[in-house]
């Protein structure tokens, strides 16, 4: 199993530190992680794609080891950060944009905001495609309770990792230690709660207004979309693929058996083959297993 020790570097985005990783050479690929996570969630894909692509991943503002934003950590703010990151690195060519969970919603917003910067869009168990979301994320929006839930505890880290992965073999001591390290960052709890509250309600789940607006705007664009989902996702259910088919009828979809919220980790080789096929233009529409 891949170790979580990538070689990373830093760049200033609007004067604030952003941590990122880059490997390989070729057409640019940008990988965006989920809420409370870090670029380590893309370790396997860096290794599998760098032979043919220039692969970037970045800790979103306030996540991992990137500095927080001065304002709210909502999806539009994070999309602006990602565009600033591309500017800071001088990436002017359109990118293959890939987002997991929250990163998927940020990727959609960036695509709507600056479609000329995006070749195509891969949504991986993405936020923004239905109201349903894990109870733990909804409870983060409750005052005081959210703060208690985000304290750096080993039991909390283990529970969160177990929720994300279908196969418990992926819940390794190294992943738990890494989750604890991220939770111990001084701004981590504030950013986590701020981000959750910006798009989730304790009763409503993922709020309808921002989801509907984002999908309506995305559907107007001529940007190829692939949605990949773990069949056993307990954070955002695979039933959200129905929204993709209904709201983005030109999109391609893939259901990954035996995977949870991060098929790019649990089924790494199949995932890389799937996105390569999509990027080559040879994929076929319709839902089928990877």
C-beta of residue 9 within 8 angstroms of C-beta of residue 20 = yes
- pLDDT tens digits, 256-271: 999 999 999 999 999 9
Task: Select from 199, 273, 235, 256 the least CA-distant residue to 44.
Answer: 273
pTM of the predicted protein model? 0.94
Q: What are the chain's domains?
A: 9-289 (3.40.50.1820)
Q: With cut-offs at 50, 70 and 90, classify the pLDDT of residue 1.
A: low
Taking the CA atoms of residue 127, residue 133, residue 137 and residue 140 in that order, the dihedral angle to the nearest 10 degrees is 110
Mean pLDDT, the chain, rounded, equals 92
- pLDDT tens digits, 177-191: 999 999 999 999 999
Task: Select from 225, 243, 209 the least CA-distant residue to 119.
Answer: 225
Q: With cut-offs at 50, 70 and 90, classify the pLDDT of residue 206.
A: very high
C-beta of residue 274 within 8 angstroms of C-beta of residue 290 = yes
């Amino acid at each position: 199993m891949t170790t979580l020790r990538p070689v990373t570097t830093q760049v200033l985005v609007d004067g604030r530190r952003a941590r990122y990783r880059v490997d390989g050479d070729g057409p640019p690929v940008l990988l965006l992680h989920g809420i409370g996570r870090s670029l380590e969630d893309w370790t396997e894909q860096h290794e599998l794609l760098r032979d043919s692509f220039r692969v970037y991943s970045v800790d979103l503002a306030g996540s991992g080891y990137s500095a927080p934003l001065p304002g709210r950590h909502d999806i539009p703010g994070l999309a602006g950060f990602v565009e600033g990151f591309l500017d800071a690195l001088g990436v002017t060519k359109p990118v293959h944009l890939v987002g997991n969970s929250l990163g998927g919603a940020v990727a959609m917003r960036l695509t709507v905001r600056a479609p000329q910067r995006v070749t195509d869009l891969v949504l991986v168990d993405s936020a923004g495609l239905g109201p349903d979301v894990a109870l733990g994320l909804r409870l983060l929006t409750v005052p005081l309770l959210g703060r208690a839930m985000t304290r750096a505890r080993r039991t909390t880290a283990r529970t969160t990792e177990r929720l994300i992965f279908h196969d418990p073999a992926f819940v390794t001591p190294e992943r738990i230690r890494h989750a604890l390290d991220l939770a111990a960052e001084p701004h981590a709890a504030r950013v986590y709660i701020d981000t959750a509250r910006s798009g989730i309600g304790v009763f409503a789940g993922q709020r309808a207004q921002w989801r509907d607006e984002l999908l309506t705007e995305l559907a107007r664009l001529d940007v190829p979309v692939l949605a990949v989902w773990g069949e056993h996702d307990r954070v955002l259910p695979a039933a959200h693929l129905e929204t993709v088919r209904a709201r983005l009828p030109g999109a391609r979809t893939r259901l990954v058996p035996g995977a949870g919220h991060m098929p790019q980790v649990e089924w790494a080789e199949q995932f890389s083959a799937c996105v390569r096929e999509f990027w080559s233009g040879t994929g076929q529409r319709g839902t089928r297993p990877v």
